[in-house]
Amino acid sequence: MNGVDAALTIALFVTLLLAVAAGGFLAARNPAFWYTLTSAVISAALPKIIEYITRRNTPEVEARMQECIRRGGTWDNFKKRCK
């Protein structure tokens, strides 16, 4: 590849990057873009969030929780201990 081909390749690559950046800028200015992006991210993350929130305690933690409730205490689910 000679110098002219290399310069042409670099110029085409820079032009492509500028076009992609301009398209991204124009898309980001549109409020519908942010609504669509947000809804897509939330719908993709929702199954993992629900799985995290609804996961069960281990049998050891369940036993300690039941013991705490039997004694009349209040179970703290975040710290996994009786108050």
pLDDT digits (tens, 9 = 90+) for 5-54: 888 999 999 999 999 999 999 988 989 989 999 999 999 999 999 999 89
Give the pLDDT confidence score for residue 8 in this predicted structure: 92
pLDDT above 80 (res 1): no
Phi, psi of 73 (to 5 degrees): -85, 180
Domain region containing 30: 3-82
> What are the two backbone dihedrals, phi and then psi, of residue 78, each rounded to the nearest 5 degrees?
-75, -40
Number of domains, the chain:
1
Residues with Cβ < 8 Å from 69, sequence gap 6 or more? Answer: 75
